[in-house]
Each structure stands twice: as C-alpha cells, then as structure tokens.
Amino acid sequence: MNATEKKAAYNLADYNSERTSFSWKNIESKLELGKTKGGYNIAHLAVDRHANTSLKSTLAFRFIQKDRSPQDYSYSRLKEETSRFANVLRSLGIQKGETVFSLAGRIPALYITALGTLKTTAVFCPLFSVFGPEPVFQRLHKGEAKILVTTSALYEKTVKQLEERLPFLRYIILSDLEEHQSGKVLSWSRLMKEASSDFKIPPTSPEDPALLHFTSGTTGMPKGTLHVHKAVLTHYITGKFVLDFHQGDLFWCTADPGWVTGTSYGIIAPLVNGVTSIIDQEEFDAMRWYAILEEQKVNIWYTAPTAIRRLMRMEIKPREKFNLGALRVILSVGEPLSAEAVLWGEHSFGIPILDNWWQTETGGIMIANYPSMPVRPGSMGKPLPGIEAALAEVTEDGLNFIKEPGKQGHLLLKKGFPSLFRDYLHEEERYHKCFTGEWYLTGDLAKKDSDGYFWFIGRADDIIKTSGHMVGPFEVESTLMRHPAIAEAAVIGKPEASIGELVKAFVVLKPGEPTNEEMKLDIIGFARKHMGPAVAPKEIEFIASVPKTRSGKILRRLLKARELGLPEGDTSTLEQT
C-alpha cells in the first residue's frame, strides 16, 4: 500500500473535513439507536447487538493466563454469560441506578460483572484489586455499594473486616467459591448455574447512569465520577478515529479496569466496534509483553508513559528479537509522553507512539494524535471531531480566551459531548465549580501552537511559580530524563521567600550511578545548559523510586507534602514498589 492508499484506509482520513461535517446525531444514527430494542444501553451496543450478526463467533475477549495460554470468549458466549449475570442481579433484587462494584484482577468475572450490570441499568464501579481495606471501604461507602464481586483471597484479606461498616452492602459474590458460604457471601458459579442465559435489556435512556469511576487522586481525595449510557457514543467514535479499529483487528489495552482507561478502552470501545481485545492477567513484564504482541499478532496497542519509560530503560531492541509486523497503531495516555518516547517508538517499532489526552471526567479521548496525521512529538494532538477545546485565563470576572499561539492557559472543553461526567458523587458544589458558562474547566494548563496542536503544561495544582516564571514540572522532568545517568525524575515547587518557589527535582539514577555531590552538580549543570537557570532545578535529591498512582501518574503532591512535613493526604492509589 502506498502512502495515499494507507491514509485513505484510516477511519479518519481527513481530519479537517470530518471536523466540519461531524455531528453527534450522525453517530447516533450510525449505531441505529432508534431501531434496536436495547436503545442506548452500553451492553446492548457492545455485546448483544453483535451476537446476532456474523460477528457472533468472533472473539470479543481473549484472556492471556499466567502461562500465556488463552481463554476465549466469543461475542455470543459473552452475550450468554453477561445475560446470566444480569439475571443473577435481578434475582438478588438489584434495581436501576443501584451500584455493583468489582474488586478483582483482570479475570473474566470482572468483565462479565461490568457488562451484566450495565444490562440491568444498575451502575458499575471497578476497583483496583491492590487497594487495601481503607481505600476499598471509602469507595464502597461513598458509592453505596449494594453488591460486590471479588475473589475468596481478596474477601479474606480486604473485605471481611469491613463488612460491619458497610450497612448498604447486601451481597458479596466470590468468583472462585463452589457453594454459597452464607446468606450474604455467595458463590459466583452456583448463581450463574442457576440463572437463565436469556435476558431482555430494559429500555435504557441516554441519561441513565451507567458507570462510576474514582479519579486517580493525584490532586487530593479521589472523586466519584458518574457517567451515563450516552457516553458510549464517545467510546464508539474514538475507537474509530483514534484507535482506528477495523473489523478483524486485535487490540490490546494494557490498563486495568480499576482506572477509567481500562473500562472505556479495555472493555467498551473495542466491543462497540466489534473487534477482539487481548487482556493480560499478569502485571508488567517487558519480555512477556513483547512476546504477547508477537504471539497474538496485536494490531493496535494502547498503553501508558509509565510502561513506555520502563521499556525504554530496558534497552531491548524489540524488532530484532520479536516479529512485531502486525502492529499498526501504538498509543499512549495518562501522562505526558515526551518527544523522546515518541521517537523511541518510531525507532523501536517502526511507527511512532501516538499520545492522547483525556480524564476520568471526560469519559473518553478528547485530544489526540491520529494515525492518519503526521505525529507531532511531545504534543497531545488535536481535539476530536465533535469536541471543542479552548485555552483561557480564568479570572474572577470570567474567562479571557487566549488566541495567541504558544501562550499558556487553562484547558477548557465545551459542554455537550456525550461522555462528560454528570456528577461528583455527594460533592455537588465541587462539581459545579468545574463549570463556567458553557465550558468545563479541566484543571490542566496547556498551550496551542499555530497549527492547532495542543501541548500539555501541567495540572494547574502542580505548576511551579519561580522568579516570575510559570514552570510545568513535566518540561523539567523530561529534560532531566535526557541526562545519561537519570532513570526517572519528579519535580516540585518548594516555597522560597525570595523567588516564590524553588524548583526541586527528585531523581532516580540508573543502576550503578553514584549518588554523590558531583553527580548533583553535573545534573544541575546539564539542566541549566538545556533549560536556562530560571527553570533548571536548584535542588536535587536522590530517591530510590518515584511515587506513582496505580495508573502510573507521578504523585508530586506526595513528594511535596513529605518535603514540607505536611500530612500526606490520601495515598490509596499509591503504587507499592
């Protein structure tokens, strides 16, 4: 295929004309929402709709087990199992809008719970299986969980001790229990055996609540973010335009459903587009990951900067050791992807890694580098057709929109797109504070270049104000990462009377590098040369590892709290290393 043919084969072949002609109404008609019985129901559009077509024997999910053997679910099998689980929930009295939680690794029961719950019009909320008792309690309590699906081991370790404090929790279903343990602690297999595989999805309206996600907690206490069934329109269209799903594709989203990416793109978007998802049940392991890409002939791979940085550090040349010829698109989300990482992708896989930006609150991808457009390394790309993004100064009198290229401001999205969150659970005031007129304030700072590409600066809360400059920690971190001895870096602002805040860098050195004064001076010198003295860190501290959330985001507020001797705040999403 030559370059022109290749471009025409992309779902989003011409960004500008698609943006001009795009309407969410057209997407509704494409999904034939008016004609099908399930209406807007996400599970209907993701599963049942396909199980009655030629896709019925196509694989929906392929779970890769510890020994790398597959466990397969076709669309028709998934329809049956999710209907069974929907009947289980009905038999246990679950009503529309009530919440069903999961606390499990990436096992089939988690995925069946998600889709079966959606079928009943109850609300699904996934939790990371590595959460300890308190974070699990906070979320089950806040979300008023009625049913929890988990494993026997996690029940014993985490949930059992919380039961008395959770009066709303009616049933706990254990995925690996043969027989019911009590009237409350039930066996998944027993319930599923007794349930019918026929389930009629009740009429579901676009605004019916569907998903509850807790944010990663980089800026404070995790918030319970509520999404509605209509969000599926964003999942569908971003699957087409950004992930470039085509029939027959094998897709691997490495995210755990405990983070919104693992639900929107690990479950819903690929199913709505009728492709096959690979789900690895194990944690990150570079050689295993490359082997899966090769063995499963993955076409589209969606991962995160934290994993990419780890792969970069390993210095494995993947194309020399593995046949990765099936890979067509590689994407990244969750944190800024440095230009070096984009270029490393090009060098290592023969295709660049495409960065895209979104948040738990937006429910789906909003700004992206598209496979059909030349990648702009270091930029998060352009807004999706149907999404209006703008930059503004936020003042007491309202918004001052920024028109000049290169000037940074608050990143805003125009309300009205389907996957925008509808509530922060029990925090109405906080929710309303996110909106000014018809704009949603994302809490991030960004700039836009003269070609319309957006560039991430930082979370507004993380920005460092030093000697009259506004410094985004990410720009300092990515420069530091180019120093040959540095493996990882995290940067904060430390209050300093004369200059406002001083830039301080926490640095993890590569194995064998000396943690001495000379190294500190060398790093400071390197930073000054590349960034100038105003922005370069004035203080360096060596640490063993950078604290991150389970979804791989640097927890700068934790480093800052430790630095200033302040309370650490909520650390429930902290990854244990």
Radius of gyration in angstroms for the set of CA atoms belonging to the chain, rounded to a whole number = 24
Side chain identity at residue 483, one-letter code: H
For the bound state, the minimum distance from the C-beta of residue 336 to ligand AMP, rounded and expressed in Å, comes to 4
Report d(CA 374, CA 19) in Å as an integer: 17
Q: How big is the site for ligand AMP, counted in residues (CB under 6 A)?
A: 17
> Any contact of residue 459 with ligand AMP (CB under 6 A)?
yes
* Residue recorded with tokens 């099998």: 77
For the bound state, the minimum distance from the C-beta of residue 549 to ligand AMP, rounded and expressed in Å, comes to 7
Report d(CA 244, CA 240) in Å as an integer: 5
Question: Whose Cβ is closer to ligand AMP: residue 75's or residue 453's?
Answer: 453
255-274 residues in contact with ligand AMP (CB under 6 A) are: 260
Residue from 80, 280, 335, 475 binding ligand AMP (CB under 6 A): 335
Question: Whose Cβ is closer to ligand AMP: residue 143's or residue 336's?
Answer: 336
Contact 546, 554 (CB under 8 A): yes
> Any contact of residue 360 with ligand AMP (CB under 6 A)?
yes
Q: What share of the chain is helix, strand, coil (3-state, %, to 5)?
A: 35, 25, 40
For the bound state, the minimum distance from the C-beta of residue 264 to ligand AMP, rounded and expressed in Å, comes to 10
For the bound state, the minimum distance from the C-beta of residue 80 to ligand AMP, rounded and expressed in Å, comes to 33
> Any contact of residue 215 with ligand AMP (CB under 6 A)?
yes
Instruction: Specify the stretch interacting with ligand AMP by CB under 6 A; choose among 19-27, 198-206, 319-327, 333-341.
Output: 333-341
How many CB atoms are located within 10 Å of the residue 500 CB?
Answer: 14
Assigned token pair, 537: 């860190």
Residue from 216, 372, 478, 572 binding ligand AMP (CB under 6 A): 216
Q: Using DSSP, state whether 212 is helix, strand or coil.
A: strand
Question: Whose Cβ is closer to ligand AMP: residue 269's or residue 380's?
Answer: 380
Report d(CA 59, CA 72) in Å as an integer: 7
For the bound state, the minimum distance from the C-beta of residue 567 to ligand AMP, rounded and expressed in Å, comes to 21
Question: Whose Cβ is closer to ligand AMP: residue 116's or residue 334's?
Answer: 334
For the bound state, the minimum distance from the C-beta of residue 539 to ligand AMP, rounded and expressed in Å, comes to 24
Report d(CA 282, CA 263) in Å as an integer: 17
Question: Whose Cβ is closer to ligand AMP: residue 359's or residue 466's?
Answer: 359
Given CA atoms 157, 163, 168, 173 in this order, what sign does their dihedral have? positive
Q: Using DSSP, state whether 487 is helix, strand or coil.
A: strand
Residue from 333, 389, 420, 491 binding ligand AMP (CB under 6 A): 333
Instruction: Specify the stretch interacting with ligand AMP by CB under 6 A; choose among 110-118, 309-317, 352-360, 532-540.
Output: 352-360
Report d(CA 176, CA 153) in Å as an integer: 9
Contact 116, 88 (CB under 8 A): yes
Residue from 136, 191, 231, 380 binding ligand AMP (CB under 6 A): 380
How many CB atoms are located within 10 Å of the residue 184 CB?
Answer: 12
Report d(CA 454, CA 382) in Å as an integer: 6
> Any contact of residue 98 with ligand AMP (CB under 6 A)?
no
Question: Whose Cβ is closer to ligand AMP: residue 186's or residue 260's?
Answer: 260
Residue numbers at the binding site for ligand AMP (CB under 6 A): 215-216, 260, 333-336, 355-357, 359-360, 380, 442, 444, 456, 459
